[in-house]
Structure 1
Amino acid sequence: MDYLEFKIKCKEEFREILIAELAEIGFDSFLETEEGIDAYAQEADFDREEFQRVIEGYQEAAEISLTEGKMPKVNWNQEWEKNYDPISVDDLVYVRASFHESKPGFRHEIVINPKMSFGTGHHATTFQMLKHQGRLDHAGKRVLDVGSGTGILAIMAHLLGASAVEAFDIDDWCVENGNENFDLNGLSTRMGLGTIRDVNPQGPFDIVLANINKNVLLDEMQIYAELLEPQGYLLLSGFYSEDIQDLLEVAKPLGLELLESSTKDNWAALILQKK
């Protein structure tokens, strides 16, 4: 199946936002460039009206210009080898692909062979979730990773000493890629397929991780709360800093108290505790 390719020139501070917005409307692969991003969508699934809505919404502020083309299906792993650099989260963890060398000086190392940009640690939401995980004691804990993507947060939980890690995603591609990454990092668990209601994980859990998007988080917040042990932790990201209050208004009546928040590139992340 052919892909549509959009070479998007934009201000640097809008790259992450545009990737997130385009991923929401069906784009499945991205490459960051010196001038902006290259975005790819399967031609059969492309919604031009939604694409125009996103572009027009940021056109002026991000100074967007773009060119459109068509290309055969791409080996994204080969493309990532050309464009994907390792990242580090303080001295907590070094995230690399299998074609990168290890690097000393970090408490942990994660190997991720991604097929799109989310879940590599490059995105501000994933970076903040990893950082927040490093603040919590995972030793001997049961951890649930909701919308696991490449599996990076589940892998981090495993490295931090969790006794049991469960993960799932609604995308069968993510499940396949996540299980590949689990194998690379020594996890025996297998990723489930479906929404949290489909998978119906059996609590209680000590830590629930959910890096998705605002609407899904609001819809599923009560489920997260019910799955948590008293004093358990809920880590959230996938929304903008201006959305924090909306999340807290839903969380507070469920007994979830804000312990810490952070922002990076206008993306927010929260640590909540069930009281």
Structure 2
Amino acid sequence: MKYFEFTFTTNPSTEIIKDVLAATLGEVGFESFVENEQGLAAYIQQALYEEEAVKSAITEFPLPDIQINYSYVEAEDKDWNEEWEKNFFQPIVVGNRCVIHSTFHTELPQAEYDIVINPQMAFGTGHHETTSLIIEELLDNDLEGKSLLDMGCGTSILAILARMRGARPCTAIDIDEWCVRNSIENITLNRVDEINVSQGDASSLSGKGPFDVVIANINRNILLNDLKQYVACMHPGAELYMSGFYVDDIPVIQSEAEKNGLKFIEYKEKNNWAAVKFEYTK
């Protein structure tokens, strides 16, 4: 699968501007982002790229008085382990219970759950707030013996942690073939079993499940569009955890969820990003 690598520069360049830019770009097909001092690197499948959609997103940027420029090239299939090492990718500790690191790290904090990843693309390391929020949910809830779906799995950090916490069997699905390959590698690195990885979107869920737990850390528009298909592979009492959107987006997410028989349980937030928990009641 071929990607374009965009370089967006913003003036001024602040954390909130970068977050809003990432959310805006996510709505027009961009899948992953890496922050830098000047703005963002952003990645989109070449087949999904529409020049007018990107221009409109920039023109209609919701924050005032922001100058945004961009350029793009065809993304290289780089050795992202080397890229992250050069950029000082540090181990991540979530909730003082889970540490996420790559194979090149030597000095590691001790934690109950130790996850090794070798990212083959510029995302999925666990640094983003949405990933750490879902990790917190998985650490806080009982997963023993529960079947689990990780939709939009990326590097499969979440599926791996869920399996370590006793979820079984686990299913991990991503639209990106790089993610599927990287997930398989990471599952092997962590010596966990009963995680089935496949490539696809929500349409590939037909005939799968029912699941006790569904995780979807993607973006608001995809979540709203695919909610019905998540619910179709859940049984009454099953739990759905979703992230990839802002706290201000919770009402529209909750409204669509309730239309599909889901009961709002709680939400967590970090730097204005949100993760929500629902229970299927029908």
Task: Please give the per-residue CA displacement for 1:135-164, whole angstroms capped at 9, x wherever unaligned.
Answer: 110111111111212111111111111121
- 1:8 is paired with a residue whose SS is strand
Matched AA of 1:82: K
Match of 1:164 in 2: 169
TM-score w.r.t. length of structure 1 = 0.85
Partner SS state of residue 232, structure 1: strand
Return the match for 2:223 from 203, 209, 217. 217
SS in 2 for 1:257: strand
Letter in 1 for 2:260: L
Q: Could you tell me which residue of structure 2 aligns to residue 251 of structure 1? A: 257
TM-score (structure 2 length as normaliser): 0.83
Residue 15 of structure 1 deviates from its aligned partner by 2.3
SS in 1 for 2:105: coil
Alpha-carbon distance between aligned partners in 2 of 1:232 and 1:42, rounded to the nearest angstrom: 33
Taking structure 1 as reference, are residues 210 and 72 closer, same or farther at Cα in structure 2, changes over 3 Å only?
A: closer
1:207 to 194, 213, 218: 213
Question: In 2, Cα distance between the equivalents of 1:34 and 1:236?
Answer: 29
Given candidates 102, 119, 140, the residue that maps to 1:97 is: 102
Q: Would the alpha carbon gap of residues 47 and 107 (structure 1) be closer, same or farther in structure 2, given more than 3 Å must change?
A: same
CA distance in 2, matches of 1:62, 1:127: 31
Per the alignment, residue 22 of structure 1 pairs with 25
Could you tell me whether the CA contact under 8 Å between 2:152 and 2:217 is conserved in 1?
yes
**Contact in 1 for aligned 2:24/2:61 (Cα 8 Å):** no
Query: Could you tell me whether the CA contact under 8 Å between 1:205 and 1:228 is conserved in 2?
Result: yes
Cα shift at 1:104: 3.1
**3-state SS of 1:134 partner:** helix
CA distance in 2, matches of 1:254, 1:44: 31
Q: What is the alpha-carbon root mean square deviation over aligned residues?
A: 2.9
| 1:191 equivalent in structure 2 | 197
CA separation of 1:258 and 1:35: change in aligned 2, threshold 3 A: same
Q: Could you say if the C-alpha distance between residues 176 and 23 of structure 1 is closer, same or farther in structure 2, counting changes exceeding 3 Å?
A: farther
1:6 pairs with 2:24: no
- C-alpha distance in 2, partners of 1:225/1:60? 35
Which amino acid letter does the alignment assign opposite residue 272 of structure 1? F
In structure 2, the CA distance between the partners of 1:253 and 1:141, relative to structure 1 (3 Å rule), is same
Give identity over the alignment, percent. 37
Indicate whether 1:267 and 2:267 are aligned: no
Q: CA contact under 8 A between 1:241 and 1:268: conserved in structure 2?
A: yes
Match of 1:146 in 2: 151
**How many Å apart are 1:199 and its aligned residue?**
4.1
Q: Indicate the SS of the match to 1:210.
A: strand
1:129 match: 134
| 1:242 CA drift (Å) | 1.9
In structure 1, distance between residues paired with 2:5 and 2:211 = 42
Which whole-Å deviations, capped at 9, do the CAs of 1:40-76 have from their partners, x for residues lacking one? 5688875433332333334854844546475883625
Give 1:98 deviation, angstroms. 1.7
Q: Which residue of 2 aligns with 1:236?
A: 242
Moved more, 15-24 or 246-255: 15-24
- Cα distance in 2, alignment partners of residues 29 and 231 from structure 1: 32
Distance, in Å, in 2 between the alignment partners of 1:91 and 1:121 is 14
Name the amino acid aligned to 1:141. Answer: K
Say if 1:11 and 1:63, in contact at 8 Å, map to a contact too.
no
- C-alpha distance in structure 1 between counterparts of 2:47 and 2:224, whole Å: 30
201 and 159 in structure 1: CA distance in 2 versus 1, 3 angstrom threshold:
farther
Q: Distance in 1 between matches of 2:228 and 2:25?
A: 28
Kindly tell me: are residues 104 and 250 of structure 1, through their superposed partners in 2, closer, same or farther at Cα, counting changes over 3 Å?
A: same
**Shift in Å at residue 267 of structure 1?**
2.1
TM-fit CA distance, 1:20: 4.3
Q: What secondary structure sits across from 2:57 in the alignment?
A: helix
**1:4, 1:246 → 2: CA distance?**
31
Where structure 2 has 5 or more consecutive residues not aligned to the other structure, the ranges are: none
